[in-house]
Amino acid sequence: MKTRTGFVSNSSSSSYIVGINTVPEPCPHCGRGGTDLVKLLESHDHWETSLEWTDPDQRIAELERDNVEWRAKGWDDDVAANQRQIDMLTEAKDRFKTVMEIAVSYHDEFLLHLLTEMGKNGEITILQGEE
């Protein structure tokens, strides 16, 4: 039996943990600014694309609760995978303005392209997931 660590995705989406490097400032003249990824995802309506969470402390607490149960069951590989994610999130929450998990449909070409471009422009850092 193969044990997967990290994200397990079905055939229609991938998960990304993203750190936001900058918050877009609106233009003082026209009011337009860069892309506010959180607001965009909250209003984005695409099948199987969703904003999973934006509170790394809450996610860390969930992973720690899972680890208590999983240690008792002897699931050492899963505990180790969770601990790696806890360590990454602990570092990321101090480094980035916002840290979030996004599930992106493989068919959501707009958001996949946007994430790629925002990464190239230095607006976001993809911490976990496909690049």
Residue 129 has pLDDT above 60, yes or no: yes
Render pLDDT for 35-73 as a digit per residue (tens, 0 to 9).
888 888 988 878 789 999 999 999 999 999 999 999 999
Residue 131 has pLDDT above 70, yes or no: no
Residue 90 has pLDDT above 90, yes or no: yes
Q: Are 124 and 22 in contact (CB under 8 A)?
A: no
pLDDT at 1: 34
Q: Model-level pTM? A: 0.78
Collapsing DSSP states into helix, strand and coil, what is residue 51? strand
CB neighbour list of residue 16: distance below 8 Å, 6 or more residues apart: 101, 102, 104, 115, 126, 128, 129, 130
Angle of helix 76-95 relative to helix 56-73, nearest 10 degrees, comes to 160
What is the pLDDT of the chain when averaged over all its residues?
86
Looking at per-residue confidence, does 45 or 116 come out higher? Answer: 116
Residue 9 has pLDDT above 50, yes or no: no
- The residue-averaged pLDDT of 115-123 equals 90
Render pLDDT for 27-42 as a digit per residue (tens, 0 to 9).
788 877 778 888 889 8
Collapsing DSSP states into helix, strand and coil, what is residue 122? coil
pLDDT at 2: 36
State which amino acid sits at residue 75.
W
Can you give the residue ranges of every domain in the chain? Answer: 15-23+34-128
